[in-house]
Chain A
Amino acid sequence: MVESRLTRVLLRLGAGLTLAFMYLPLVVVALYAFNRNVTLAWPIERYSTRWFSEAWQDQDVRDALWLSFRAALGATLVALVLGSLAAMAVSRYRFFGREVVSFAVILPIALPGIISGLALQATILDVLSPLGISFGLTTIVIGHATFCVVVVYNNVVARMRRTAGSLDEASADLGADSWQTFRHVMFPQLRTALLAGGLLAFALSFDEVVVTTFTSGAQETLPIWIVGAITRPADLPIVNVVALFVIVVSIVPVYFASRLAGGAGLTSDRPPRGAVAAEIQAP
């Protein structure tokens, strides 16, 4: 090792501080969820779990939670389909516009959410509403799926880069038709990548707020509810409980996704770069 002892100690310290910085606010939120008082004063005087039951009984919170869940599920499914289709096309074929596809898939997540949101809202108002698709779960799913595609896409592309196309050809040579090839050869290889991508897409959709403000109309997903409740002091204690819940729900799928993806980008054995960065795209 090239670095001096002192450097290493300092680095360890720096890393520890940065980690503390990263986790402190989350710990604070968790603590406030157990705060008996309504105010934001620190230090917390008394602890209580009363807000948990109040949050559970709040109909607005329950409705928002249910909506967020359904939207995330829908968006994940759509993203899985679209993402894997596009990824398979890009990985196994050479065609003009290959780079364009990658670019187009990334665009929704690369552009500021407000622009995507505005654009989609105008489309919903002018094109979809007259066709009968008005603001609601469908439009929320449309908005979310559009930028969730990239997460699945990148995972599948990365995985397919590591699997040989020759396997598919061999399978065909052995007499399997397309469907059998897919079922018995491709899908098992892709399975964990799809699962990882799906979990990430779920977390991404569950957490999204910017585009959703424009595509949800009157409906409130959980993050939208949180944004509204932040400025209402009466709801503040419940917000902290909801926030803690959201943290847990967001983190768990990601943790499992990282275990599943295993080599697909999160450990040190030569992860495909695109997968690493793209997996962590913006909410």
Chain B
Amino acid sequence: MSSVSAREAPPREPPGRRLSTFLFRHPRVRLALLLGLPVAWMAVVYLGSLVVLLLSSFWDIDPFTGDVVREFTLDNFRRIVETPVYREVAWRTVQMAALVTVACAVLAFPIAYYMARVASRRTRNLLVVAIILPLWASYVVKILAWRTILSDGGIVNWALEPLGRSFDGYSTVGLWLTFTYLWLPYMVLPVYAGLERIPESLLEASADLGARSSRTFVRVTLPLAFPAVVAGSIFTFSLTLGDFIAPRLITSEQFIGTVIYSTYGEALPIAAAYSVVPIAVIVLYLVVARRLRAFESL
């Protein structure tokens, strides 16, 4: 039979081969290798930084040097809760986020519906790309664009001039317009995806049962699309909540982001304590959104 002597060892495999055999037999090690780097990065770099930031909300400021002193205190949170301005600013920001969400939803629906149910396949593909492209056209550039449009010599005022009216673009209304513009694509896409998922047969059944199209829309389409709207609103809401660059450039009112930004240099613990507010709001919003089955629409 074989002339290989029983005592001869099989040829040594090259190290690479042995390594991969080892890896094949030990899926856990493979997993550890795969996960090690990303987890180390996210846990150490990012989560660690976050934890330190949130920790500093319990610290104090040395009155003489202005440095951060690592002594535990709840004063920062007390101040945030007791001083009216923090509540007012938070409320103002939440209101703005809500208004922006509503505006985005209203603007997004027609085009999303058109894309999902009316447009031809080719048009639909074109439209999807058309919606996504402005999204990537630089956030700061869009703010610049709106500043220009809303400025005193800009397009809006030029258009209103014959009517004898003027528009002060440097205001909360201007900011609302800017935010709506910035986050609109984030609302269109999930709503489009959600509307697309509604089976045609449901709508036909509703029509067969005698409902006019408006009734079908209200009683069938809207409820089915609602989770998708909520999914889109996650973006519009949370993005508005923490933003500080647009408010700084478009208006002089204070929002959560601007307060944190102007406070963190001199009073980091207070800024850190205040940043708990948007985190809490966003987490709450996510919990509610999950209940409303929005995550399945993402």
Contact = CB atoms under 8 A, between A and B. Distances in A.
Touch A–B, Cβ below 8 Å:
yes
Given A239-B144, A267-B128, A268-B124, A93 B27 contact: yes
A177 B21 contact: yes
B46 A19 contact: no
A123 B140 contact: no
Nearest to A258: B129
B67 to A, nearest CB: 12
| Chain B interface size range | 35 or more
B292 interface: no
Contact of A280 (B16, B45, B130, B132): B132
Contact of A112 (B53, B108, B110, B278): B278
Looking at chain B's contact residues, the main secondary structure is helix
B133 A18 contact: no
B193 A273 contact: yes
Contacts of B243: 112-113, 210
Contacts, number: 292
A28 B145 contact: yes
B140 A223 contact: yes
Contacts of A226: 138, 140-141, 144
Interface stretch (A49-57, A58-66, A100-108, A184-192): A100-108
A86 interface: yes
Looking at chain A's contact residues, the main secondary structure is helix
Interface string B123-166: 01101111111111111111111111101011100100000000
Question: B108, B131, B146 — which one has the most chain A CB atoms within 10 A of its CB?
Answer: B131
A39 B153 CA distance: 8
A164 interface: no
A25 B141 CA distance: 9
Contact of A26 (B16, B108, B134): B134
A118 B260 contact: yes
B241 to A, nearest CB: 6
B107 A268 contact: no
17 contacts: A2-B203, A3-B213, A12-B118, A18-B110, A41-B153, A41-B154, A42-B154, A82-B38, A104-B43, A105-B38, A114-B257, A115-B260, A116-B50, A120-B46, A149-B41, A207-B140, A247-B138
